[in-house]
Amino acid sequence: MALLTITALTDSVGAEVTGVDPERLAADDSLARSVLDALEDTGVLVFPRLGLKPEAQVAFCRRLGAIDHSSDGHHPVPGIYPVTLDQAKNSSAAYLRATFDWHIDGCTPLHDECPQKATVLSAKQVATRGGETEFANSYAAYEAFSDEEKERYGALRVVHSLEASQRRVNADPSPEELARWRSRPTHEHPLVWTHRSGRRSLVLGASADHVVGMDLDEGRALLAELLDRATAPHLVYRHRWSVGDTVIWDNNGVLHRAAPYDPDSPREMLRTTVLGDEPIQ
Ligand code: OGA
Ligand code: MN
């Protein structure tokens, strides 16, 4: 018998999982395996009103892979990072305004770390207005290319930077801010990521600054056009949060962004990140 009851949410990305016991999710290896398989198939899994406790969320994620502890210290439970614009709950909140633009987590790491494999968010508090999270399937975006586009775009390389993603939400940084952004190395990635599985996805989003060897403006126009195509409504699932929802996404093949919400909103998501082991290549 299948371990999970899964219902597709759109034709291209996202599925809902029901009937799961949160304690079992934290304690059962075969269930974790089924979640990873379902994630590979659907890109995003939604567990409505699961009520997963922070400790159980970390235990669950540990069954999916090694988890990221580099942002510990903002929440009492190690492995949990609060995603909120409230500086009182997270002193690094200012950076999170960049989540309003489409992105893939971990395209501009401190060193040469691979992008995260998967990210889990659980809603502790939700926004009264806005604050949905949107997901776009970038495997499907690649598949929609013509053969000629697959060949042409398959050869492109793109430089990603923290500065590119921060500038979109903070166009006029102080010299100190700029210096902090620039202390993070830039990274050159292929536009098309060929995964171990043989599938291909697009590496696009806020951190993508320019196309190597192309006129700057032309390259940026191309990146914007490709992002528009990759995030066309038929490739997107938009999650409207209820308190207690848990969502997990495949950070290798899915772009995501938060819909705008009031900076004074109490919205708070508890995030746990499963580290990746697949370089963008
Ligand atoms: C993230 C992120 C979006 C949101 O946690 O990486 O992009 O809706 N979050 O809060
Ligand atoms: Mn993100």
Ligand 1: residue whose CA is nearest its atom 2: 99
Contact residues for 199 (Cβ-Cβ < 8 A; gap 6+): 139, 253
For a substitution probing ligand 1, which of 89, 120, 121 has the most ligand atoms within 8 Å of its CB? 121
Give the pLDDT confidence score for residue 133 in this predicted structure. 98
Q: Which ligand is nearest to the CA of 247?
A: 1
Buried b (16+ CB within 10 A) or exposed e, 38-69: bbeebbbbbbeebebebebbbbbbebbbebbe
Give the range of the structural domain holding residue 19, as residue numbers without chain letter: 5-275
Pairing label, strands 44-47, 15-18: parallel
Q: Is residue 281 part of a domain?
A: no
For residue 229, give both structure tokens.
């195509």
Q: How far apart are CA 276 and CA 66, in angstroms?
A: 8
CATH of the domain at 22: 3.60.130.10
Q: Is residue 280 part of a domain?
A: no
- Predicted TM-score (pTM) of the model is 0.96
Query: In which residue are the tokens 């290896």 written?
Result: 29
Total domains in the chain come to: 1
For residue 15, give both structure tokens.
């599925």
Using CB atoms within 10 Å of the CB of residue 265, give its burial: 0 to 12 exposed, 13 to 18 middle, 19+ buried.
middle
Q: Is residue 164 part of a domain?
A: yes
For a substitution probing ligand 1, which of 44, 61, 99 has the most ligand atoms within 8 Å of its CB? 99
Low-confidence spans in the chain with pLDDT less than 70:
1
Ligand 1: residue whose CA is nearest its atom 6: 105
Distance 258 CA to ligand 1 centre (A): 6
Q: What is the DSSP letter of 100?
A: G
Q: Is residue 122 part of a domain?
A: yes
Give the pLDDT confidence score for residue 168 in this predicted structure. 93
Q: Which ligand is nearest to the CA of 259?
A: 1
Using CB atoms within 10 Å of the CB of residue 170, give its burial: 0 to 12 exposed, 13 to 18 middle, 19+ buried.
middle
